[in-house]
Amino acid sequence: REEKESLGVKDDLKLTLNAVKVLEARYLLKDEDGKIIETPRQMFRRVASHIGIIEALYDFMEYKKTGKIPENAEKIGKVSLTQEEVLRRAFNYMKEDGIMEGTFEEFMDFLSTKGTSAHLYINKFEEMMSSLDFVPNSPTLMNAGTKLGQLSACFVLPVGDSIEDIFETLKNTALIHKSGGGTGFSFSRLRPKDDIVGSTKGVASGPVSFMKIFDVTTDVIKQGGKRRGANMGILNYNHPDIMEFVLSKDSENKVLSNFNISVGVTDEFFEKLDNDDYVDLINPRTKKVTKRIKAKELWDAIIDQAWKTADPGLIFLDEINRKNPVKNVGDIESTNPCGEQPLLPYESCNLGSINLSKYVNGKDIDYDRLRETVWLATRFLDDVIDANKFPVEQIKKVTRMTRKIGLGVMGFADLLIKLEVPYNSWEALEIAEKVMSFINEESHKASQHLAEERGVFPAWYGSEWEKEGIKMRNSTTTTIAPTGTISIIAGCSSSIEPIFALAFVRHVLNGQELLEVNPLFEEKTRSLGLYSEELMRKVAETGNLENIEINEEIKKIFVTAHEVDPQWHVLMQATFQRYCDSGVSKTINMKSDATREDIAKAYRMAKDLHCKGITVYRDKSKTVQVLTAGTTE
């Protein structure tokens, strides 16, 4: 408690110390002297009141159409200046889209004379976040109700084959990073290295060298000190520079350190691999074959490099486009940085995750309460699209056309532990299937309900949804994000990952050491009378129970990421993917002694199980590693 207060934060939500530290450093608003001016609850209140106020615009729209005023409407004499800014901007978006009648002044008048139910949603949204049942992605937390106002984590930008196009995209990238978003690109349209450049009769420098400019730009734009931007770089397997791309990252030099890279592969590539055939490398400018290489040669290089450095991953372009619900708008060529969100060029998406650890009732999952949260969170995420301040005009256009949202989960490992089910078990896969299919179905229903209230997303006409006769407000509703920071805020296990370490020693400044123990593990060992500082220090040496003498049942339930066989990791990813509109972010953790064959097997399995992409991470394969299990580094 004292420690939290020494950070200058009044913790009114009983958060963990780590949560308070993260909020203090990057989320809570500060005044010009750097003094914190809001509590965690006030932060959630700020977010709720700048998202929920959007409801008032839909109330007004309904009123103009039917003369109806919502039940429980409350007259609002005045909104805050920042709320007014959000409303005015959203009003104008709706005007541009041709769905809003009347003037803004008329709307403000409606608020004070007729009223709105927005306050009810504001309260519900605040409660849903303050209880840590649901947390939106970081940019929404950081920027709602601020000047920046950019609320989405995920963007994809096109990269055209000209200096003008490349630098236009570079500029847009900088604008997105500045506002806390991450960007993904396919560099496959760029002509290869040493190809001719018409205007200068010189030679082209190729995709990899241009990626380096994006990388440096990311370094320079530090997202206002809040977080460093992240990028996904994709090159298709048949680009002439593919080998250079595959080898572009290594663990020694920090080249492209702000990039995750993935090779864009298709079904055809796997056919060639299976038939030991050649791949034609094609210059995208001339469409001519420049060279042929054995598919196996490329595959081996990819696997070898992934073994050494964790990059490149794969993205399965055919699978992604088969599942693309808005083929009428275009083809997908890239995902966002962590791979969970396939997007069209210039499309963005805002995410949010439900904390599953909060939905355990005894030994059961509380589906009724989960349903309520899914519906409310879907509505919240749809409101975010209107409250959002888009950094680039074209992004606003495409995003509002498809209205993608990404509702996901976190705390899945905690849920399993509470249910006493090992992560690496068929029962865990069954739970994953049941929970995620439920969330997916309910969020679709919620989006259909919103479509009745507010209309379908504009690109619905001609979309796959239209062909199925299902009216939707959002072209996708579900995504499994990594929840890197928001799971710390919520104090739960991240995303759908197993527990990383049960105990570890954190080295803090001035040589002090802090022993941190997973709260569920502490609770369990205490309840069995097994807890001791000595035991925890021993566990902290490796982070797991592999070499600890403790009952077998506990060992199974508290299994950690590196003990889980890679195949279970892939199976878990594939299970969530089956019930997810967009993608699943998952790290296939491997022990440091994993072989190249293990990696090849995981990549292959991901393809066969219809994943949309795959990344593996072999322990210690990067010199700089964000999370390290165990004390010894």
> Using an 8 Å Cβ cutoff, are 222 and 215 in contact?
no
The residue among 265, 259, 260, 216 whose CA lies nearest residue 238 is 265
**∠ CA(299), CA(304), CA(306), 5° rounding?**
95
Q: Do residues 237 and 269 lie in contact, with contact meaning Cβ atoms separated by under 8 Å?
A: yes
Q: Is 2 a catalytic residue?
A: no
Does residue 229 touch ligand CDP according to CB under 6 A? yes
Q: Pick the catalytic residue from 238, 324, 336, 440.
A: 336
Binding-site member from 83, 137, 357, 463 for ligand CDP (CB under 6 A): 137
Distance CA(409)–CA(417), nearest Å, equals: 16
- Say whether residue 19 binds ligand CDP (CB under 6 A): no
Q: How far is the CB of 157 from ligand CDP (least distance, A)?
A: 12
Q: How far is the CB of 226 from ligand CDP (least distance, A)?
A: 9
User: What residues numbered 326-355 form the site for ligand CDP, per CB under 6 A?
Assistant: 336-338, 340
Smaller CB separation from ligand CDP, 153 or 190: 153
* 228: contact with ligand CDP by CB under 6 A: yes
Tell me the one-letter amino acid at 533.
Answer: E
- Which position has the token pair 């590196």? 562
Output the six-digit token pair for 337. 């940085």
The catalytic residue among 55, 319, 340, 563 is 340
Q: By CB under 6 A, is residue 150 in contact with ligand CDP?
A: no
Least Cα distance to 431 among 492, 369, 360, 353 occurs for 360
Find the binder of ligand CDP among 144, 332, 481, 580 (CB under 6 A).
481
The stretch near ligand CDP (CB under 6 A) out of 106-114, 212-220, 478-486, 571-579 is 478-486
The closest alpha carbon to 311, from 603, 577, 1, 581, belongs to 603
Residue among 49, 83, 138, 238 that touches ligand CDP (CB under 6 A): 138
Shortest CB 50 distance to ligand CDP, Å: 17
Backbone angles phi, psi at 614, to 5 degrees: -155, 140
Name the minimum Å distance from CB 452 to ligand CDP.
Answer: 30
Structure tokens at 590: 């491997």
- Min dist CB 217 to ligand CDP, Å, is 14
Of 285-293, 458-466, 483-491, 611-619, the segment contacting ligand CDP by CB under 6 A is 483-491
- Selected from 486, 502, 588, 614, the binder of ligand CDP by CB under 6 A is 486
Q: Write the DSSP string, 479-534.
A: -B---TTHHHHHTS--TTPPBS-SEEEEE-STT-EEEEE-HHHHHHHHHTT---HH
Residue 395 is a binding residue for ligand CDP (CB under 6 A): no
Distance, CA of 57 to CA of 232 (rounded, Å): 36
Does 613 interact with ligand CDP (rule: CB under 6 A)?
Answer: no
Q: Which residue, 249, 246, 234, 256, is CA-closest to 303? A: 246
Q: Which of 153, 295, 344, 354 binds ligand CDP (CB under 6 A)?
A: 153
Q: Length of the chain in residues, anyone?
A: 633
Phi, psi of 569 (to 5 degrees): -60, -45
Binding piece for ligand CDP, criterion CB under 6 A, among 29-37, 62-70, 455-463, 476-484: 476-484
Contact by Cβ (8 Å): 137, 153: yes
Please confirm, yes or no, whether 580 is among the known catalytic residues: no
Return the closest-CA partner of residue 629 out of 572, 590, 571: 590
Least Cα distance to 246 among 204, 317, 299 occurs for: 299
Nearest CB to ligand CDP, comparing residues 337 and 342? 337
Scan residues 169-188 and list those touching ligand CDP (CB under 6 A). Answer: 181-182
Respond yes or no: is residue 340 known to be catalytic. Answer: yes
Q: Does 132 bind ligand CDP (CB under 6 A)?
A: no
Site for ligand CDP (CB under 6 A): how many residues? 20
**How far, CA to CA in Å, does 98 sit from each of 95, 101, 102, 361, 401?**
5, 8, 11, 46, 12
Binds ligand CDP (CB under 6 A): choice among 87, 154, 332, 405:
154
Question: Rounded to the nearest whole angstrom, what is the least distance from the CB of residue 184 to ligand CDP in the complex?
Answer: 8
Neighbouring C-beta atoms of residue 216, cutoff 10 Å: 13
Torsion angles phi and psi, residue 156, rounded to 5: -130, 135
Q: Is 483 in the site for ligand CDP (CB under 6 A)?
A: yes
What is the Cα–Cα distance from 247 to 255, expressed in whole angstroms?
Answer: 11
User: Of 211 and 540, which has the nearer Cβ to ligand CDP?
Assistant: 211
Q: Does 411 bind ligand CDP (CB under 6 A)?
A: no
Q: Does 157 bind ligand CDP (CB under 6 A)?
A: no
| Only segment of 224-232, 303-311, 520-528, 576-584 that touches ligand CDP (CB under 6 A) | 224-232
Binding site for ligand CDP (CB under 6 A): 137-138, 153-154, 181-182, 227-230, 336-338, 340, 481-486
Q: Which residues are catalytic?
A: 336, 338, 340
